[in-house]
Amino acid sequence: MVYTETMKNLRKKNPLLQQFKDQSCQPVAQWLTLETAARLDLCIQFLLLPVIQKSKPISPEMMQAMMPAAVDLERQATSLAQETPASFKTIHDLLGQVTALFLMPES
């Protein structure tokens, strides 16, 4: 009971996480309607999701360090969303699958 109450309070006190969830659960077609800056912001939030989940702020240094990866992720995600939009249900699914491609070992 106490655990459930604590989790509810964390969700209420973590607006960045809730905002990310709201945006990332949208259909993948929405990705293509977003401005590049908004897509990059979502990519950074996706990459820093463990930090966001702990209710910690994203520092400018973190954003700067993640920007090259976010740019790559945004380009690849946009390309795949344009080429094969039916392969992805949500923006979160798109970002997750593209990130998994980056983590695959080279043959």
Structure confidence by residue, pLDDT tens digits, 2-56: 445 545 555 567 888 999 999 999 999 999 999 999 999 999 999 999 999 988 8
Structurally, the chain folds into a number of domains equal to 1
Per-residue model confidence (pLDDT) at position 57:
85
In a domain, 104, yes or no: no
Contacts of residue 58, defined as CB under 8 A and 6 or more positions apart, other chains included, come to: 16, 44, 45, 48, 51, 52
Q: What's the half-sphere exposure (Cβ side, CA atoms, 13 Å) at 3?
A: 0
The 10s digit of each residue's pLDDT in 70-98 is 999 999 999 999 999 999 999 999 999 99
Q: What is the pTM of this model?
A: 0.82
In a domain, 53, yes or no: yes
In a domain, 37, yes or no: yes
In a domain, 88, yes or no: no
In a domain, 99, yes or no: no
In a domain, 55, yes or no: yes
In a domain, 57, yes or no: yes
In a domain, 89, yes or no: no
Q: What is the extent of the structural domain holding 39?
A: 33-83
